[in-house]
């Protein structure tokens, strides 16, 4: 199932093994109503190791958000299982934190610092002073210490994204789940946020499960990418992309990998890809 990108040999690939932080085995997910059953994913398997930046990539409707919600514990599998540190996921827990696309998830009546402190206080593990210290630590990491007393409505989209990331990281989860977190941002801010996320990862080395339908974003953000077929999502391939970062944008091998991923996702026939893909800039999967 795993397909190396050019320059990678089979020996660099991850074997399936028991010590992965997160194991998703044969996961089928469905939405049921009185009228019908919608199968969102079909027998999806993957494993995420500690400090992985693991990306779920696929076209709209292939079940990426549904997969993330299942890992978060909001949706029960109809087939297969999800294991975190070897234990079945039975519901939401503080070991998994989700950052969504909509940053209006920040309560507007709380300041930036109060927003970051809130989950720390709710869990009851930290005193007020400890929660404040932890919140300021992560706000500094995302460059927002000076805005600790500001209210969310006074912040730009990028700044709200940073608060949401600081709030999630401050809880020190086992795995950070991000569902198209930068999709609502303009292109320049989005790129800056990708860069900042990578810088943060270099510092904190958290484990990331990241959903996107941008091939470029997947290559930049991820070290491993799971390619999902259109609805219902099935695994097409897993590719390794740890050799790419912000500096790779526009480089020949980066573009070649993007074209290869596009073929793996969409090209059933083996036809050469359209010439437009050679002019790679900010390619998103068409749907």
> CA 88, 25, 53, 185 torsion: positive or negative?
negative
The piece of 9-17, 62-70, 119-127, 157-165 that touches Mg ion (CB under 5 A) is 62-70
For residue 30, what are the CA distances in angstroms to 76, 211, 252? 9, 19, 40
Q: How far is the CB of 213 from ligand ATP (least distance, A)?
A: 5
Residue 234 touches which member of Mg ion, ligand ATP, none, C-beta under 5-8 Å by kind: none
What is the rounded CA–CA span in Å between residue 25 and residue 84?
A: 11
Q: Which stretch binds ligand ATP (CB under 6 A): 64-72, 137-145, 164-172, 268-276?
A: 64-72
- Establish if 73 lies at the interface with ligand ATP (CB under 6 A): no
How far is C-alpha 154 from the geometric centre of its chain's CA atoms?
27
Given candidates 66, 194, 214, 223, which one binds ligand ATP under the rule CB under 6 A? 66
Which two three-digit tokens encode residue 219?
A: 């290559």
Asked if residue 232 has a cis previous peptide bond (ω within 30° of 0), the answer is yes
Q: Is 28 in the site for ligand ATP (CB under 6 A)?
A: no
Q: Which partner from the list Mg ion, ligand ATP, none does 127 bind, CB cut-off 5 to 8 Å by kind?
A: none
Decide: is 236 part of the binding site for ligand ATP (CB under 6 A).
Answer: no
**Interaction of residue 85 with ligand ATP, rule CB under 6 A:** no
Residues 39 and 36: their CA atoms lie apart, in Å, by 10
Residue that is written with structure tokens 């290869």 in the block: 260
Confirm or reject binding of residue 65 to Mg ion (CB under 5 A). Answer: yes
Return the closest-CA partner of residue 183 out of 221, 152, 149. Answer: 221
Q: Tell me, what DSSP letter sits at residue 6?
A: T
State the minimum distance, in angstroms, from the CB of residue 231 to ligand ATP: 5
Sites of contact with ligand ATP (CB under 6 A): 31, 38, 40, 58, 60-66, 213, 231
């Amino acid at each position: 199932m795993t397909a190396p990108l050019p320059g990678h040999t089979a020996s660099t690939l991850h074997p399936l093994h028991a010590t992965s932080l997160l194991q998703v085995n044969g996961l089928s997910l469905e939405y049921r109503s009185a009228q019908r059953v919608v199968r969102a994913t079909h027998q999806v398997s993957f494993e995420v190791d500690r400090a992985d930046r693991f990306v779920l990539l696929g076209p709209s409707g292939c079940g990426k958000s549904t997969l993330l919600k299942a890992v978060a514990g909001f949706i029960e599998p109809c087939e297969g299982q999800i294991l975190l540190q070897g234990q079945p996921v039975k519901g939401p827990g503080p070991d998994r934190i989700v950052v969504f696309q909509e940053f209006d998830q920040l309560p507007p009546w709380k300041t930036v610092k109060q927003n970051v402190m809130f989950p720390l206080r709710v869990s009851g593990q930290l005193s007020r002073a400890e929660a404040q210290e932890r919140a300021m630590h992560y706000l500094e990491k995302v460059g927002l210490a000076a805005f600790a007393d500001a209210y969310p409505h006074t912040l730009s989209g990028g700044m709200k994204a940073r608060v949401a990331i600081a709030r999630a990281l401050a809880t020190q989860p086992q795995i950070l789940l991000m569902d198209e977190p930068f999709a609502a941002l303009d292109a320049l801010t989005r790129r800056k946020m990708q860069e900042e996320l990578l810088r943060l990862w270099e510092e904190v080395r958290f484990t990331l499960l990241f959903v996107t339908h941008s091939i470029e974003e997947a290559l930049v953000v991820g070290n491993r990418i799971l390619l999902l077929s259109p609805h219902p999502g099935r695994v097409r391939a897993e590719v390794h992309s740890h050799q790419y970062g912000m500096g790779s944008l526009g480089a020949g091998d980066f573009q070649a990998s993007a074209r290869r991923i596009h073929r793996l996702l969409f090209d059933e026939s083996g036809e050469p890809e359209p010439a437009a893909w050679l002019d790679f800039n900010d390619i998103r999967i068409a749907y």
